[in-house]
Structure 1
Amino acid sequence: MTGIVWGALKDRNLELGPASDLKDDRFRHWRLARDEDNVAWLVIDKEGASANTLSADVLAELDRALEEIERDRPKGLVIRSAKKSGFIAGADITEFRGIRDPKVVEEKISEANRVVDRLDRLDIPTVAIMHGYALGGGLEIALACDRRLALPETKLGFPEVLLGLHPGLGGTVRSTFLMDPVQAMTMMLTGKSHPARRAKRMGLIDEVIEERHVLAAVKAAVSGGSKSRDRSFRDRALSSGPGRRFAAGRMRGETESKAPAEHYPAPHALIALWEEHGGDYDQMKAEEIKSFARLLVTDTAQNLIRVFFLREHMKAIGKGKTTFGHVHVVGAGAMGGEIAAWCALRGLTVTLADMKPEVLGKAIRNAHRLYEKVAKDGAKIRDAMDRLIPGINGHGIRHADIVIEAVPEKVDIKRKVYEQVEPLLKPGAILATNTSSIRLEELRGHLKDPSRFAGLHFFNPVSRMQLVEVVSHDQASEETLKKLERFTTSIDRLPAPVKSAPGFLVNRALMPYLMEGLLMLDEGTPKEVIDRAAEEFGMPMGPIELADQVGLDICLDVADMLRANLDAELPQTPAWLREKVENGELGRKTGKGLYDWKDGKVQKNDKGGSYDRGITDRLILPMLNACVTCYRTGVIDDLDTLDGAMIFGTGFAPFRGGPIKYAHDRRITDVIASLKRLEKQHGARFAPDPGWPDLERASLNEEGTPVPRAETEEA
């Protein structure tokens, strides 16, 4: 049994040490062995998981393993992972959900810290060998070792802030004492991960090594003994009381502009922790535990943890291998060009077609600029450009596994494309439309095989917006839809299955938000005030700026389409909006719209003026009302996916957990009453959807998802 287990680990092409003294009968998640030089190898391989995470039982086993190591006193200790995916991806987030008592959190995190401190106190040389991802708690385990060695592809970071937290296993103090404290704080405040070579320059790791050199590197590290780093004069100065106060002041100002303390307390708590206790190792470590416990029980942290699981839920929708290797995109405009560029970056062969050579040329130039920002690595940029093949003849159609149509939002233009494309499709290939709002029933009319036709609605910009709506119609086959969901996941986007309907989900819900903002502007409310009300609620940008970003012509087309096809009322389009569109004042893309734009950046006047909750409700509640309509009418049949789609497709305030979660937290009775009040004041467009009472009769499970009361009673 022992030889078989160790042999399986060796088959993964990772150097994990010898098999001679392997002990696996006491551990489910770890393997402990001793090599010929009397160096202990402690290998993590979490049972039943594709990636290692630190759960309570994993840490309890680590504690037992460290006890054995203390007793047997090997010459040194090596910690590494047997997973191909990486070292340790952080804490097991499932254990954070639903906890509301900070004392319980403090007890749990104190116990976890005791185990990590035990590793830190070992009086033998300790070495962490990292590959893949070393994040959060995994990086904190590595920081407790004397030396940290990483393979070139390793990514290291503290993403806790994205969950409304900061490191809680000693990471705040160990990182700020190990490296430049400002760099360490920046790393924790942003949540960004860094490649191994940059991490070495920062002082976070000691060496970057190739897999074939692991054994030699371990011998050198162990023979070198424990290593302590002499802090530079600059580090000592920044860690002094005056230095911390000065640096913390600047950090606080920059952080507030991006993550207001009212909505995102974690980065501000981290700054305060370092500013107040950064000069005292033991005190800062003790205060880190208390601060972590206070943060974990906040609504922000619990909602951001919910968002993490919403992302995992949507990834699972597209779980499975895709057979797509070649994508053909018709239309090299802003959307088609970026869809093609993104697919090529993700490793697919892409042919991009357009009737105008100058449009193709612009798309290729934009793709190169995108790759310089995203890929950065010269070889990756070159390879992606090699996979992106422009042309005006459409020869790629015959070889493509999927053809994505991204031509203007006109039914007759799209139908002409399908007439030309469908006869050229190879057997089994899929034809997908990137339409943002047109019902697929209007587009499929002349298709010979509508079962292989569906919607694949990307959001602009494709490189940043994670959501893709996978749009079905009653003649689309289940196989087609499943293939599109898997394809979406394979290019690192999140699929949201929706049914064909005017505007689908996201545009149907977003348009009332945009149009209400324009109507308030028409009433005389300053645009800066309208946008600030939305932004202070937590939206990434207000409706006026968003309309300019999307394009006033597109907003007008979608609004007209929805108004013509929906039973529900929408705000009337102000006459001046049509005049702006006719005059070519379309927003960001023309340099002038509702705002002026310079070099792609909005030019705002910092106008004063207060606003009351009524403005915020006029913007946000119609969005919630439309979401309930979409759920009631079956446009989307899963509330988790609905919340996720609105967060990842519109930027709906992540710290609120999604529109449905926000409605429950606010209390649905209050939402209904507020809609009725607005209906009396402003008209029938605010009438509460008939679906609200069903949500009102539901409760929330610990994941924050509404559960019908009948199911709750059965449980």
Structure 2
Amino acid sequence: MFKAKFHPLTDLEDWRFSVDEWGIAWAEFDREGESQNALGRRPLEELGRIVSAVEDGARDKNIVGLVIISAKPRGFIVGADIREFAEMKTESDVYERLRPVTALFDRLERLPVPVVCAINGFCLGGGLELALACHYRIATRDAGTRLGFPEVKLGIFPGFNGTARSIRQAGPIAAMQAMLTGKMLSASAARAVGFVDQLVDSRGALPWAARKAILRGRKSKPAGFAKQALTKWPAREFLAKRMRGEVAKKVREDHYPAPYRLIELFERHGGNEEAMKAAETRAFAPLMVSDQSRNLRRVFKLSELLKGQAPKKLAWKPLRAHVIGAGTMGADIAGWCVARGMEVTLQDVSPEQIAKGIAAQGKLFARKFKTKPQRDAAKARLIADPNGEGVARADVVIEAIVEKLDIKRTVLAEVANRLKPGALLATNTSSLQIEDIAAGLPDPGRLIGLHFFNPVAMMPLVEVVRGEQSREDEVSRGAAFVTAIDKFPLITKSVPGFLVNRVLTPYMFGAMKLIEQGEDKERIDEAARTFGMPMGPIELADTVGLDVCAHVARILGFSSEGSRLDRLVAAGKLGKKSGEGFYVWKDRKPLKGDRVFDRVEMERLGRELVAPLIAEAQKSLDDGIVASADLVDAGVIFGTGFAPFRGGPLHYQAEHALPSAAVAEQ
């Protein structure tokens, strides 16, 4: 990329090192054989050799500065190499791996010449920690440039002294929020908080901006006095208490200890950068070797496995979608597709329903798009289409109408004759079998299922359902479409309930059976949360809709005749959407008491509640509904919220040596 003056290091495999005519050293990260750069053992060792060369060159006056940049077209550094985490079995292993890295970053920071980090694309985790050890940071305004600390999602926090450096640059509020939430920041947001010093318009502008920064000796300024004052006592104690309260609203300490340990680290050492660096490793090591982190790393790998369900090389790129049915599900599918950049036509027999469905996407667009022009452009891409004129232009047509077989058949038969060649035809059904819906179509092999979950904007999984008649290329395109809209595809066999509802239903109805036997609903739900579920099964039933639960139960052969569920549905008490079900709902939240339950009893009941779910997950694997045990775990985690820190139902069963025959009896 750059005209080199000399090449003191010619045997590097993951970096390219050169010095230009101005005496500026360029370290280009281009990890061999990888599409993205990650900081593994070899790249870090080679970076150490580069730092040594710059130290020598600076001493001899041959080097006036160092630029660290990526040679990958769409990314800087995605973080530490997660594949190497498993090599660290003990806390001593963690210390042994971290000490050379933190020492290297300190050497980088102490270089006597300016060090500039030039960022385009993802700059995450260890990549951001490396950037913060540099003296000045420049990033592109490109929409794909994102910076952040996702470590908390892996059950850890930054371990290359990024905790102390981020607080130094951004102040404790912005830095701790970034680390505690794991959210990615745009380049402009990163500049606003202090992680980035300068923005340029394009990747091509980075080298020139970096060269100018070196020659002018630019250096990043730490957070101002007002922000740094918040690291002093008692302000730090107050902030820590507030942070702990916010975290407690979302996760429990025994389930996800990492954010709590991070807050403790800040509370004890946040006023002294060097002390915080030293304490960081001591707090980090036990987290890295914990069961929670090991299982959360497994969940990350499962997410990559789901992405792999889509073909890597497929010329077909969906740009336009047509959604039939403007109810809550159909309108939300349309809105999500628009939010991911597609143009969508939305059809319904009722123009009023279309208008209502489009209006409901305002909240999503406000959340996804920060400027008025972006929101206006999104609104323009969501087009009311009562006559279905968009069918002929669409790359993807999704039917999302009422769960009635005859109506679905009629609508799809009419649509099938107007599809353009190569368009994908899908039904969003939660319980009907694809081959039954496809019967009577001129080309039944064209139809697949795309089962979205409610709420569409929140749930990451979409089941791509292969009917007995579905052609494999249509299934592959379905998976490709799901990844194109930034969801995880799970290819499943067409059976009643597919995977997720089939596994979820015995769990929910097992809980309802306990209610019929006199068990308290709040006690049931608290036990499920104690196990690690995001909400209890009774609250979940209310959230899904009791009429939907009853319908799915009938499809899957669970009789609810004469039960409290049937009585509630008959009375029009359908849960959250009607304001009352098993719970009374106010401001979209269930009204609950403030009782405290015995912890040991909650753990016992929690295991009892999930036993039917685990048993059904095993049966689903045995019946070949998905291709592997890992895919079962992935589908149940991302489709139901099954406690991620436990690694999935089948993984949990294996880890606790629960024989599948005994699970349901536990």
TM range (shorter): over 0.9
Per-residue displacement from partner, 1:130-165 (whole Å, max 9, x unpaired)? 121111101111111111111113321111001001
**Structure 2: which amino acid aligns with 1:556?**
A
Residue of structure 2 equivalent to 1:696: none
Selected match of 2:254 from 240, 256, 262: 262
Distance in 2, Cα, partners of 1:274 & 1:533? 32
Whether the 8 Å CA contact 2:530–2:603 is kept in 1: the answer is: no
* 1:24–1:30 Cα contact (<8 Å) kept: no
1:187 pairs with 172, 178, 183, which one? 178
- Kept in 2: contact 1:170–1:285 (CA 8 A): yes
| Cα distance per residue 1:288-319 (max 9 Å; x no partner) | 12222211100000000001111111111113
State which of 232, 256, 264 in structure 2 corresponds to 1:240.
232
State the AA in 1 paired with 2:413: E
Distance 2:206 2:353 in 1: 50
Q: 2:34 aligns with which of 38, 46, 49?
A: 49
Partner SS state of residue 404, structure 1 = strand
Of 597, 600, 607 in structure 1, the residue corresponding to residue 595 of structure 2 is 607
Contact 2:95 2:285 survives alignment (8 Å): yes
Inter-CA distance 551–27: structure 2 relative to 1 (3 Å threshold) = same
Distance apart, 1:228 and its partner CA? 6.2
Partners of 1:112 and 1:400 in 2: CA distance: 51
* C-alpha deviation, 1:583, in angstroms: 2.4
| Aligned with 1:281 (options 265, 273, 283) | 273
Paired residues of 1:518 and 1:574 also in contact (CA < 8 A) = no
What's the CA shift for 1:609? Answer: 4.1
2:641 to 651, 656, 661: 651
**Quick one: which of 36, 50, 61 aligns to 2:21?**
36
Distance 1:305 1:475 in 2: 37
Give 3-state SS (helix, strand or coil) of 2:304's partner.
helix
Counterpart of 1:120 in structure 2 is 109
1:170 to 161, 173, 191: 161
Q: 1:555-597: per-residue Cα shift (whole Å, max 9, x none)?
A: 010001111xxxxxx4745533222222221112122222222
Match of 1:88 among 70, 77, 93: 77
CA displacement, residues 511-553 of structure 1 (integer Å, 9 cap, x when unaligned): 1111122222222222211111111111111111111111111
Per the TM alignment, residue 129 of structure 1 is displaced from its structure 2 partner at its CA by: 1.3
Letter of the 1:68 partner, please give it.
Answer: A
**1:99 maps onto 2:93 in alignment:** no
* Cα offsets for 1:89-146 (capped at 9, x unmatched): 1111000126321111110111222222221111111111112111110111111111
Q: Using the TM superposition, give the Cα deviation of residue 474 of structure 1 relative to its aligned residue in structure 2, in angstroms.
A: 1.9
Write out per-residue CA displacement over residues 644-694 of structure 1, whole angstroms, 9 at most, x where no aligned residue: 11111111100001111111111124x644533x5xxxxxxxxxxxxxxxx
Q: 2:347 touches 2:385 (CA, 8 Å); kept in 1?
A: yes
**AA partner of residue 452 (structure 2):** F
Match in the other structure for 1:665: 655
What is residue 138 of structure 2 aligned with on the other side?
149
CA contact (8 A) 1:639 1:660 kept: yes
What letter is aligned with 1:520? L
Greater CA deviation, 352-361 or 188-197? Answer: 188-197
| Greater mean deviation of Cα atoms: 193-202 or 227-236 | 227-236
Task: Tell me the equivalent position of 2:410.
Answer: 416
Residues 98 and 443 of structure 1: CA distance in aligned 2, closer, same or farther (over 3 Å):
farther
1:463-474 equivalences in 2 (<5 Å) = 463-474=457-468
CA distance in 2, matches of 1:617, 1:217: 58
Question: Offset at 1:224?
Answer: 4.2
| Aligned mate of 1:218, from 198, 210, 213 | 210
How far did residue 613 of structure 1 move? 4.1
Q: Is residue 383 of structure 1 aligned with residue 377 of structure 2?
A: yes
**1:242-641 pair list within 5 angstroms:** 242-318=234-310, 319-321=312-314, 322-563=316-557, 570=558, 572=560, 575-610=563-598, 611-641=601-631
* Structure 1 segments unaligned to the other structure (5+ residues): 1-5, 7-16, 564-569, 679-715
How far, CA to CA, are the matches of 1:663 and 1:166 in structure 2? Answer: 28
Cα distance in 1 between the residues matched to 2:304 and 2:9? 31
Aligned residues of 1:515 and 1:571 also touching (Cα < 8 A): no
3-state SS of paired residue (2:68) = strand
Mark the CA change 1:189 to 1:23 in structure 2 (over 3 Å): closer, same or farther.
same
Match of 1:218, SS state, is helix
State whether residues 126 and 226 of structure 1, in contact with CA within 8 Å, keep that contact through their aligned partners in structure 2.
no
The corresponding residue for 1:10 is: none
Deviations 1:300-359 (A, max 9, x none): 000000011111111111133333232211111111111111112222222211000111
- My pick for the range that moved more, 247-256 or 354-363, is 247-256
- How much is the aligned-residue C-alpha RMSD, in angstroms? 1.9
Shift of 1:215: 4.9
CA positional deviation for 1:627: 0.7
* CA deviation profile, 1:242-272 (whole Å, cap 9, x unmatched): 3322221222222223121101111111111
- Deviation of 1:420 after TM superposition, in Å, equals 1.3
The aligned amino acid for 1:665 is E
Residue pair 1:587, 1:593 contacting (<8 A) in 2 also? yes
TM-aligned CA deviation for residue 22 of structure 1? 5.5
The alpha-carbon distance between structure 1 residues 98 and 528, as it changes in their structure 2 partners (threshold 3 A), is farther
CA distance in 2, matches of 1:378, 1:431: 33
Report the identity percentage. Answer: 44
SS in structure 2 of the partner of residue 264 of structure 1: coil
d(CA) in 2 for partners of 1:614 and 1:66?
55
Paired letter, 2:356: K
- Alignment of 1:135 onto 2:124: yes
In the TM superposition, residue 23 of structure 1 has moved relative to its aligned partner by 6.5
SS at match of 1:141: helix
Check whether the contact 2:553–2:559 (CA below 8 A) recurs between aligned residues: no
Distance 1:593 1:81, change over 3 A: same
User: How far did 1:241 drift?
Assistant: 3.5
Taking the aligned partners of 1:22 and 1:461, their CA distance within structure 2 comes to: 55
SS in 2 for 1:424: coil
Instruction: Output the CA distance in 2 between the equivalents of 1:289 and 1:248.
Output: 20
Residue-by-residue CA offset, 1:489-513 (whole Å, 9 max, x unaligned):
1111111111011101000000111
Displacement, 1:202?
A: 1.4
> What is the number of residues matched between the two proteins?
655
CA distance in structure 1 between the partners assigned to 2:179 and 2:185 by the alignment:
11
For residue 488 of structure 1, report the CA deviation from its aligned partner.
1.1
| CA distance 1:176–1:517, shift in 2 (3 Å) | same
- Distance in 2, Cα, partners of 1:163 & 1:305: 5
Match of 2:213, as an amino acid?
A
Change (3 A) 1:613 1:35: closer
**Is the contact between residue 76 and residue 122 of structure 2 (CA under 8 Å) also seen in structure 1?**
yes
Q: Match of 2:111, as an amino acid?
A: L
Q: In 2, Cα distance between the equivalents of 1:437 and 1:449?
A: 22
Contact kept in structure 1, 2:16 and 2:30, CA below 8 Å = yes
2:159 is aligned with 1:159 = no
Q: Which amino acid aligns with 1:496?
A: L
C-alpha separation in 1, matches of 2:376 and 2:416: 32
| Cα distance in 1 for residues equivalent to 2:450 and 2:88 | 38
Secondary structure of residue in 2 paired with 1:48: coil
Higher deviation after alignment, 603-612 or 79-88? 603-612
Residues 459 and 228 from structure 1, CA distance in 2 versus in 1: closer, same or farther, beyond 3 angstroms?
Answer: closer
Q: Deviations over 1:338-394 (max 9, x none)?
A: 111111222222221100011100111112321111223333322322222221111
Q: 2:564 is aligned with what amino acid? A: W
